[in-house]
Amino acid sequence: ASAVPPQAKGSWMSFVKKSLASFNGDLSSMTAPPFILSTTSLTEYSSYWAEHPPVFVAPAGEQDAQKRAMLVLKWFLTTLKQQYSSRSEKLGSEKKPLNPFLGELFLGKWQDDAGETTLVSEQVSHHPPVTAYCINNNAHGVRLQGYNAQKASFKTRIDVRQVGHALLRLDKFDEEYLITLPSLHIEGLLTGSPYVELNHHTLIQSSSGFTAKIDYSGKGWLSGKKNSFTAAIYRNGQEKSPIYTVDGQWTSDFVIRDAKSKTTVSSWSHKAEKTTPLTVAPLSEQDDLETRRAWGKTAAALQKGDMNLASQEKTIIEERQRAQRKREAVETREWDRIFFRRTENYDRLKALAMKIGEGVEADKTNGVWEYSDAKAQKAVKPYREGVMPVGKSA
Ligand code: 0T9
C-alpha cells in the first residue's frame, strides 16, 4: 500500500526526482511533502534501545561470561524491530523525523519488573546532527550510552551509513560491549511507501573477548522472508568456530542455538512480548529544551495539516537557535551540553573497536561524546529529580 494520497501522486514523484537531483548528503535539509512528515523528533528514537527493560538488564544476572555475551546479543536483536520498523508498522510508512535543535532533550523512564530504567537523550551537535543518549538501570548496574550521526547518499535509492556506536556496560563484571550501528537503505521510495531495510552486518565486541556478528539478508536468500538475519557468537578472531548461532527475522521471531549440539538455548517472539511504555513528564512540567514541549505547536499544526502554521512554528524555533548561536559567538563560547561532554579519553573504546577492525570517527560526529554524571548532578534541579541517572563517574 502506498502512503501517498491519490491527489499527491504527481507531487510525490516530483519530490523524489528533485531530491535525487539536488541531494547534498544531509537528509534533514530535504523538503519532503506533508504526508511523509513525522511529528516526532529524532531525539526520541534513542528510546528504541530499551523498550524491553527486563531483556536489557538480563545479562547483569548471568555469571557465565559466554552466556552474558549471548544475552547481550539477544537484547540487541530485540531492539531492531523498534529501531527500524516501528514507524512503518504504526504509521504505515517510514516518516521524516523532526530535525532536532542543538540542546534538545528527551527524558523519560520505564518502570517494570526490571525496576526503574531511565533515558536521557540529547542533541549534542547540529552541524552535523548528532544525538547522544544514556540508558541506565542502577539497580542492575547496566548502562548503555552512545551517540550517532547519519551520512546519506541518494543515487537510485537513499543509502544511510550510521556513524557512531553504542557502548553497553555491566558494572558487576566491569565488562563492556561495543556495538556498531548497521547501515541501511530506504526501500519503496518510488511507490511512495518508504521503509527501512538493513544492510550488511552489525558487530558487538565484548571486553571479555567475544564477538557477535549479525548478518542482515533482507528477503533471506534461504527463507525468502523479509528482515531475515543470521548471527553468531565466537571468540574474537575465531569466526570459523562459533559458540552460538542465531537465525530468524528481526521483526518477528528468532532462535538462539548452541552451535555444536544445535539445541535451543533461548528464543524470542515479538508477538509474545509486550514493550514497556516509556513515561515522560507532562508537558506543563517539561523544560523548554524538552522535545515534546519545544515542538508541541509545530506537531499540532502538522497534525491538523496546517502547513503554514507548522512552518511558522518551525521558524520560531530556528530563529531562537540563530539568536542563541550569535550570543555564543559574541561571548566566544560553545553551547554547554546539559548531560554530555566531548572526551579525548577513549582508549578503551578504540581498543574494542580495533578488535573488530573498526575506528572511532570523531571528526564525523563533532567529537566523541560521553555521558557526564557530574553534569547530570547539576541538571537534577531543573530536569526533575530521578529522571536521569546519576552515578559515580565524573
Ligand atoms: C537512530 C534509526 C535512525 C536514527 C534514523 C535515516 C532516517 C533518520 C535516522 C538511523 C536510531 O537509533 C535508528 C532508524 C531510522 C532512521 C531514519 C529512516 C529515515 O528514513 C530517516 C531519514 C532522515 C528520512 O526520513 C528520509 C525521508 C524518507 C522517509 C523518505 C522521503
Q: Residue range 105-134: average pLDDT?
A: 97
Q: Which pLDDT does position 58 carry in this prediction?
A: 98
20 pLDDT more than 80: yes
* Per-residue pLDDT tens digits for 174-199: 999 999 999 999 999 988 899 999 99
Q: Give the per-residue SS3 of 111-125.
A: EECCEEEEEEEEEEE
Mutate to test the pocket of ligand 1, among 24, 119, 196, 250 (most ligand atoms within 8 A of CB): 196
Mutate to test the pocket of ligand 1, among 47, 144, 163, 184 (most ligand atoms within 8 A of CB): 184
Whether the CB-CB separation of 124 and 110 falls below 8 Å is answered with no
Cell of 107: 527524558
Cell of 38: 513525522
The pTM score is 0.95
145 pLDDT more than 70: yes
* Per-residue pLDDT tens digits for 313-367: 999 999 999 999 999 999 999 999 999 999 999 999 999 999 999 999 999 999 9
Given pLDDT bands bounded at 50, 70 and 90, which one contains residue 140? very high
Q: Residue range 36-64: average pLDDT?
A: 98
* Per-residue pLDDT tens digits for 69-96: 999 999 999 999 999 999 999 999 999 9
Residue nearest to atom 26 of ligand 1 (CA): 96
CB of 27 shorter than 6 A to ligand 1: yes
CB of 94 shorter than 6 A to ligand 1: yes
Mutate to test the pocket of ligand 1, among 160, 165, 181, 199 (most ligand atoms within 8 A of CB): 160
Cell of 137: 538501570
Round the average pLDDT of the chain to a whole number and report it: 93
Q: Residue range 21-47: average pLDDT?
A: 92
Interface pTM, i.e. ipTM: 0.98
Given pLDDT bands bounded at 50, 70 and 90, which one contains residue 100? very high
- Which of the residue ranges 200-209, 257-266, 279-288, 321-330 would you say has the lowest mean pLDDT? 279-288
- Which of the residue ranges 142-146, 305-309, 385-389 would you say has the lowest mean pLDDT? 385-389
CB of 91 shorter than 6 A to ligand 1: no
Q: What is the DSSP string of 309-361?
A: HHHHHHHHHHHHHHHHHHHHHHTT-----SSEEE-S--HHHHHHHHHTT----
Over its C-alpha atoms, the chain yields an Rg (Å, rounded) of 21
CB of 229 shorter than 6 A to ligand 1: no
Q: Residue range 243-247: average pLDDT?
A: 97
Q: Which pLDDT does position 110 carry in this prediction?
A: 97
Q: What are phi and psi of 160, to 5 degrees?
A: -125, 125
Chain-centre distance of CA 124, in angstroms? Answer: 14
218 pLDDT more than 80: no
Residue nearest to atom 28 of ligand 1 (CA): 96
Cell of 294: 519545544
Whole-number Å distance, alpha carbon 96 to ligand 1 midpoint, is: 7
Q: Residue range 1-27: average pLDDT?
A: 86
380 pLDDT more than 70: no
